[in-house]
Amino acid sequence: MRQKGWLALVGIAVALVALPAVRHATEFPMFYLIFLSGILFWAAQSTSWNILSGYSGYFSFGQGAFFGVGVYAMAILFGRQGMSWWVAALAAGLASMLLGLAIGTIAFRLRSLRGEIFALLTLAIPFILASLARLSKAIDGGQGIVIPVPEAPSFLSQFQEFVFVVSGLVALFALSVAYVMQRTRYGWALFSIRDDEDVAEGLGVPTFFHKMIAIGITGLIAGISGAVAALQLGFVSVEGTFNLDVPLFVIVMSVLGGRGHWAGPMVGAVYVYTLQNRLASGGFEGWSLIVLGAILVLVMLLAPQGLMAGFRRRPWLSAGIFIVVFLGLWLLGIMSDPVTALALALGVTAIIAFIPGGEKRRMSPPVGAGEPPEHHAPVGDEMADVMAEARRPLLVAEDVVKTFGGVRALRGVSMTVHVGELVGLVGPNGSGKTTLVNLISGAFPPTSGNISLDGTGIVGYRPHRVAHLGIARTYQIPRPFTSLTVRDNVAMAIMFGRDPLGLDASRRAATEYLDLVGLAGRADAFPGEINLHQRQLLEMARAIATRPSLLLLDEALAGLNPVEIDNAVEVVRRIRRSGVSIVLVEHLLRVVNQLATRIVVLDQGLELAEGEPAVVMRDPAVIKAYLGRQADATGD
């Protein structure tokens, strides 16, 4: 997988360098070089779009803005000011990156800004830039700008060869960045944001930072690529730059090729550009947008994973059929025009990709039996140490109040968790248990009051900082990253935990946490393939993989059958023995009585009682508020 990716990139690089030379030798028509330059341009643009919108799921209609800033930076700096073309191209990339960062600073800071609103916001940005460019004489003023032909290096005898090589370098840069991201924490952070941003943040992923990196890179690549396109065009105008072609094409290309894989947008670019080219040369210009729109609708409805997912299921078959059909049609002289042969070969191969079935490929390759790294070594029975530390307060919540609009969910709750304790947090529905968990984990700030961990105040910290300080949580309804395997869900938590590891080391280290919860056997399954009990165990494994000092279990046993409950109770015991203090929010009194060293009872946002389980459960006020008459106060 790793080798294949690099192989593909090196192959593109070699082809790039060799092609102008081959053209001199064989004298094939310049048209093919122009055709390939077009594909390279769109591969760069769609890959750039995909890093933000495919990887992180923040869908953008604003690709035209990044492209346009690149185009105009080149037009002004090189065309008007006479700067050297490559300095202008780099400056164009930087300008566009700055635009991306500016958009991100505004849009990503607001947690209420949902993906849909972000998408519509990006729809407006090219319009703003277009009217700015039209108004300002310093930019365009409505006249357009002429760009002279740059002086190409001497070994490239023709302008088109120069454009080809430069477009190729930009595309190669874009693909390499996308590839490296997919293999490292930078891509994985974005995948986790796409799957469930809140959970990612809670596991320690600094989501704002990673979204900013994504939008910055998207801008950088789109800007440089736009600058090169401006060189090729020779004349730029507002109407020709900020129109809807760029956003439409990158979206269709990425959706068709596949948004989850670095090579998907490139594959889509080859398909869409070839198809457009054939439609135009066949006199069907009027159909080109209809075909694009239809591709978008059909792929989204029927095969949202895109072509790349299909190719990866049958890599050799797809490649073989493509090569045989293409060379067969071309070399045997059935098709005199190689682009038509290419279009037909692509079409036939696409049919293969969309046939379901075939070998199922996992995101994660089999993991070797490498030694887990030292600092993630399994934690043994350290109860002795823990007991020595006992009575040292770990979590202190003081007079915590939380109101939602007019509703007072918590009306002044104080609570202390000591090192090594397992505190049961109980109370009727609506008593404020989950609100308290959300406040402690930093999901939102309290209206007033103080919360500290190990003496450090955590109020106002973003959830990922709270996670890095040592608080982990699980969700009542498990929220795994659905596109990642069980192992990779846990690896994710290690990669962004308090002692972050690389991807491969994290995958190896994940095994021990899966062992601890008894889920190692399902490590390569996807969350959709395991049952509720196993998903709840996965929640716990993922939480302890952040190596917390305090674990908040929010109804981690809800909906389980008795056998599963016994198993889960055993897992919680094991987690506690490994030295983690626990707050257990739970409805099942049998479980709380078995596990908890102490119980805190909440009722209507206030603490009703606190103390040893046996004592608290006999408290008449508790029985009245929480248990009603029929319940057996002492459990079983």
Partner 1 sequence: MIELQAAVSGALNGSLFALMALGLSLAWGFLKVINLAHFAMILTAGYLTFELATSTGLSPIATIVATVPLMFVVGALIQLGYERFGVSELNSLLISYGLLIITVQVVTNIWTADFQRLPTEINPYASESVAVGSLRFPMPTLLAAGFAVILVVTSALVLERTYAGRALQAFGQDREIASAFGIDHRLLGVLLAGAAGASAAIAGMLFPIGGTLTPDLPFEWIGQVFAIVILGGIGNVTGTLYAGLLVGAISGLVAVIWTPSTSPFVVFSLVVLALVFRPKGLFPQKGG
Q: Can you read off the two tokens belonging to residue 445?
A: 């700030």
Amino acid at 382: E
Distance CA 613, CA 625 (A): 16
Residue of 9, 12, 169, 296 that binds partner 1 (CB under 8 A): 296
Verify binding: residue 407, partner 1, rule CB under 8 A.
no
On whether the CB atoms of residues 601 and 432 are closer than 8 A, the answer is: no
Q: Determine if 123 is a binding residue for partner 1 (CB under 8 A).
A: yes
| Minimum CB distance to partner 1, residue 402 (Å) | 20
Strand partners, 451: 397
Q: Can residue 144 be called a binding residue for partner 1 (CB under 8 A)?
A: no
State the distance between the two ends of the chain, measured CA to CA, in whole angstroms.
54
Q: How far apart are CB 290 and partner 1 at their closest, in Å?
A: 5
3-state secondary structure 65-86: HHHHHHHHHHHHHHHHCCCCHH
98 binds partner 1 (CB under 8 A): no
φ/ψ (deg, to 5) at 143: -95, -25
Which among 605, 604, 600 has a CA at the least distance from the CA of 617?
600
Nearest-angstrom CA–CA distance, 589 and 390: 25
Q: How far is the CB of 50 from partner 1 (least distance, A)?
A: 14
Segment interacting with partner 1 (CB under 8 A) among 83-91, 130-138, 327-335, 458-466:
130-138
**Residue from 141, 234, 240, 293 that binds partner 1 (CB under 8 A)?**
293
Nearer to partner 1, 176 or 243 (CB): 243
Q: Which of 1, 18, 21, 124 binds partner 1 (CB under 8 A)?
A: 124
Q: Please pick, from the candidates 9, 13, 113, 363, the single residue that binds partner 1 as defined by CB under 8 A.
A: 113
Judge contact between 613 and 596, C-beta under 8 A: yes
Contact flag: residue 110 with partner 1 (CB under 8 A): yes
List 10, 244, 351, 390, residue binding partner 1 (CB under 8 A):
244
Closer to partner 1 by Cβ: residue 131 or 157 = 131
Q: Smaller CB distance to partner 1: residue 292 or 453?
A: 292
Binding segment (CB under 8 A) for partner 1, from list 220-228, 245-253, 497-505, 577-585: 245-253
On whether the CB atoms of residues 345 and 325 are closer than 8 A, the answer is: yes
Residues 6+ apart with CB under 8 A from 323: 345
CA dist 421 and 386 (Å) reads 9
H or E element, residue 411? strand 407-418
Binding of residue 294 to partner 1 (CB under 8 A): yes
- Least Cα distance to 513 among 381, 371, 376 occurs for 376
Closer residue to partner 1, CB minimum distance, 17 or 297: 297
Q: DSSP letters along 532-585, please? A: HHHHHHHHHHHHHTT--SEEEEESTTTT--HHHHHHHHHHHHHHHHTT-EEEEE
Question: Is there binding between residue 101 and partner 1 (CB under 8 A)?
Answer: no
Residue 126 has a CB neighbour count (10 Å cut-off) of 24
323 binding partner 1? (CB under 8 A): no
Under the criterion CB under 8 A, does residue 212 sit at the interface with partner 1?
A: no
Judged by beta carbon, residue 168 or residue 258, the one nearer partner 1 is 258
Between 264 and 497, name the residue whose CB sits nearer to partner 1: 264
On the 0-12 / 13-18 / 19+ scale of CB atoms within 10 A, 10 is exposed
The piece of 248-256, 471-479, 573-581, 595-603 that touches partner 1 (CB under 8 A) is 248-256
Measured from the CB atom, the residue of 293 and 320 that comes closer to partner 1 is 293
CB of residue 375 to partner 1, shortest distance in Å: 40
CB of 292 to partner 1, least distance (A): 6
Stretch 267-286: interaction string toward partner 1, x if CB under 8 A: -------------------x
Residue 65 or 509 having the CB closest to partner 1: 65
549-568 binders of partner 1 (CB under 8 A): none
7 binds partner 1 (CB under 8 A): no
| Site size for partner 1 (CB under 8 A) | 43
For partner 1, the binding residue among 134, 408, 465, 598 (CB under 8 A) is: 134
Strand-pairing partners, residue 208, are none
- Cα(158)–Cα(141) distance, integer angstroms: 32
Q: Which stretch binds partner 1 (CB under 8 A): 57-65, 321-329, 342-350, 423-431?
A: 57-65
Q: Where are the alpha helices (DSSP H) in 374-455?
A: 383-389, 433-440
Nearest-5° Cα angle at 50, 124 to 467: 95
Cβ proximity of 413 and 607 under 8 Å: yes
**Among 89-97, 132-140, 335-343, 381-389, which window interacts with partner 1 (CB under 8 A)?**
132-140
* Rounded Cα gap, residues 388 and 610, in angstroms: 23
Cβ closest to partner 1, residue 253 vs residue 575: 253
Does 102 participate in binding partner 1 (rule CB under 8 A)? Answer: no
- Minimum distance from residue 131 beta carbon to partner 1 (Å): 4
Return the closest-CA partner of residue 54 out of 227, 267, 203: 267
303 versus 622: smaller Cβ distance to partner 1: 303
From the CA atom positions of the chain, what is the Rg in Å?
Answer: 29
Residue 307 is a binding residue for partner 1 (CB under 8 A): no
Does 255 bind partner 1 (CB under 8 A)? Our answer is: yes
* Binding piece for partner 1, criterion CB under 8 A, among 87-95, 300-308, 421-429, 470-478: 300-308
CA 76 – CA 99 distance, rounded (Å) = 17
DSSP characters over 351-365: HHHHS--SPPPPSSP
Q: How far is the CB of 556 from partner 1 (least distance, A)?
A: 23
Site residues, partner 1 (CB under 8 A): 57, 59, 61, 106-107, 110, 112-117, 119-121, 123-125, 127-128, 131-132, 134-135, 244, 248, 251-252, 255, 286-290, 292-297, 300-301, 304
